[in-house]
Amino acid sequence: MSRAERVREAFTGGRGARWHPTDALVRGVGLGVGMVVLGALLHRVELVLLGAPLLVSTLVALVSPVGGTPSVRVRALPRIGEVGSTRATVELDGGEGAELMAVRLPDGREEGVGPVHLLPASAGAVTVALRRDTWGQGAALRPDHLVAGPDGLLVHGPVTAPELGRTTLPPVRPLPAGLLPARPLGLVGAHRARRPGDSVELRDIRAFQPGDRLRRVDWRVSLRAGALHVREHHAEADADVLLALDTRLDVTAEVADWTATGRAVTVRPGGSLDLAVTAAASLAAGYLRQGDRVALADLGRPQLGVRAGVGRRQLLRLRTGLVRCARSAGWAPKPVLHVPHGALVVVLSPFLDAPVVELTVHAARRGNAVLAVDVLPGPLTPDPETPWGPGAARIVELEHEVRLEAMRRHGVVVVRWDGGGAPLAGALRLAARPGRRVVR
């Protein structure tokens, strides 16, 4: 016996793989025979008249041909989809002599495997609606079934079917791309790479350093400054955008829920991780639409990141990677981030601890343009069960504001994400202006 068969037998009590009689069959035969025999012994015709039809109908149902192995197959089930409703086809085969089938199917009104539906065995195929109102991984369909023969005297099952999961991608909201200098379309992408290169587009004029070529010397600036200065140009390559997702914390506006454990889902709806994933998916779609290279980094588990790429397939990989990172979310003592030179770094975090702030500032000190997206839900609601609730919530808010201000002083663009995208869009427009590096 295979492992799958042992698991199925454990769920069904060893009865799911064959046809077996029900209690109605035992009662019909026993009661029919008993009433006929008792009526004959007591010479009571009414007992015979009551028991004989019951016995005859039971025997007729037994002689009806019942056999085969009923099966329920699911086809046209998308493994990856968007938030909302979709449809799948379930093929029903009740076997020979089957009359009814009880199948667990979704009804399209709520998430999950759905209630049990009573269908005729000749239904053939049924189209079911699958609904998912939240992103992430979850059970989409589990077609448990029970097949009944004539008069329900013989049944096959119940059979616990394997659970079919479905990945619902995070929603994408339209956002304008910003924080990167534009370049003409048709070259590489819509934005220039921030790292130096050999193109004709001027990036900066700086002091001469050992190793610089003499043909790059700007003699006009050098004569005016009294020292050698060289021209630095942009590289002819796609701009790199790194989305750094902080999965170490997932908090809501209810401070009392921050220490709650034993939840059935990893991501709390409306929590910081939910907001961060939505913002990351929206930013990725905006920059990929402009032809830029976008990568994903998990600050808590670097091995779950997604390499930089372009195009629609990259957006699908990034959204799937966001779901994978959220599924493995959990506390890590020290965030890890490897920043490529010249890339735009977008850190999405509630910024409730010092290590993630230090990591963000360090990326800015290396010369990268850094955007800190604050996803802490607010305003915070104090714990009503303790007199220290308002004071504790106020301390958290003050410490949080101190961390944000420290990042602003180091040239990090700080913006708050409230789920709507409007503040982030405004910050991108302001930050794209020359000489504008601090957004409050």
**Residue-level pLDDT at 281:** 94
Task: Enter the DSSP assignment of 381.
Answer: B
Cβ neighbours of 138 (radius 10 Å): 16
Side chain identity at residue 291, one-letter code: G
Which band of pLDDT confidence, cut at 50, 70 and 90, is reported for residue 266? low
* pLDDT tens readout for residues 208-243: 887 777 778 888 888 888 888 888 765 544 568 899
**Residue-level pLDDT at 20:** 81
DSSP codes joined into one string, 225-240: HTS-EEEEEE-SSBPE
Q: Determine what percent of the chain is predicted with pLDDT higher than 90.
A: 27
**Residue-level pLDDT at 30:** 81
Side chain identity at residue 298, one-letter code: D
Which band of pLDDT confidence, cut at 50, 70 and 90, is reported for residue 322? very high
User: Which of 54-58, 232-236, 352-356, 373-377 is least confident?
Assistant: 232-236
Which band of pLDDT confidence, cut at 50, 70 and 90, is reported for residue 163? confident
CA angle at 393 for the pair 391 and 399, rounded to the nearest 5°: 100
Which band of pLDDT confidence, cut at 50, 70 and 90, is reported for residue 15? very low
Task: Please tell me the distance from the alpha carbon of residue 34 to that of residue 379, in angstroms, as a whole number.
Answer: 75
**Whose structure tokens read 């659970």?**
163
Which band of pLDDT confidence, cut at 50, 70 and 90, is reported for residue 391? very high
Of 105, 97, 201, 74, whose CA–CA distance to 148 is shortest? 97
> CA torsion sign, 351 to 356 to 357 to 362?
negative
Task: Please tell me the distance from the alpha carbon of residue 383 to that of residue 398, in angstroms, as a whole number.
Answer: 17
Cβ neighbours of 110 (radius 10 Å): 11
Is-contact 405 154, C-beta < 8 A?
no
Average pLDDT over residues 381-386: 89
CA angle at 244 for the pair 243 and 250, rounded to the nearest 5°: 120
* pLDDT tens readout for residues 50-98: 888 877 777 777 777 777 788 888 887 888 888 888 888 899 988 888 8
Average pLDDT of the chain to the nearest whole number: 80
Task: Please tell me the distance from the alpha carbon of residue 87 to that of residue 128, in angstroms, as a whole number.
Answer: 6
DSSP codes joined into one string, 154-217: EEEEEE-PPPEEEEEPPP-------SS-B--TTSS-SBB-SSEEEEEEEEEEEE--TT--GGGB
Is-contact 272 375, C-beta < 8 A?
yes
Is-contact 294 309, C-beta < 8 A?
yes
Task: Enter the DSSP assignment of 116.
Answer: E
- Cβ-in-10-Å burial (0-12, 13-18, 19+) of 286 comes to buried
**Residue-level pLDDT at 405:** 95
**Residue-level pLDDT at 260:** 67
